[in-house]
């Protein structure tokens, strides 16, 4: 099994301590994946609007969340 699969299974635990820890870990994993894919999209010439559309959020929201990270990577 993969880490994500294990975490998803743990998130469904009847033990709240186990489930909540898994939720935190999944949130962190998803944030990291989003950062990676936004960076990939920008390197491939995607506009902030195209990224926002793919993530189903506003252009302003995705720009606010990721623009500073992109500047730091340069």
Which structure tokens are listed for 58?
A: 């506003």
**Could you tell me the CA-to-CA distances from 58 to 22, 26, 33, 54 in Å, in that order?**
28, 23, 19, 10
Taking only the tens place, the pLDDT of each residue in 13-23 is 999 999 999 99
What pLDDT is stored for residue 73 in this prediction? 65
Non-local CB neighbours of 63 within 8 Å, separated by 6+ positions: 48, 52
Q: Residue 8: how many CB atoms within 10 A of its CB?
A: 13
Residues 4-10: what's their mean pLDDT? 92
Q: How confident is the model at residue 74 (pLDDT cuts 50, 70, 90)?
A: low
Whether pLDDT at 1 is above 60: no
Taking only the tens place, the pLDDT of each residue in 16-63 is 999 999 999 999 999 999 999 999 999 999 999 999 999 999 999 999
The alpha helices in the chain, defined as continuous H runs, are 3-11, 16-43, 48-55, 59-73
């Amino acid at each position: 099994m993969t880490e994500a699969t294990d975490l998803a299974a743990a998130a469904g635990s009847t033990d709240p301590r186990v489930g909540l820890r898994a939720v935190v870990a999944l949130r962190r994993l998803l944030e990291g994946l989003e950062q990676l894919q936004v960076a990939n999209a920008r390197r491939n010439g995607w506009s902030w609007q195209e990224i926002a559309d793919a993530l189903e959020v506003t252009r302003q929201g995705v720009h606010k969340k990721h623009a500073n990270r992109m500047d730091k990577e340069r």
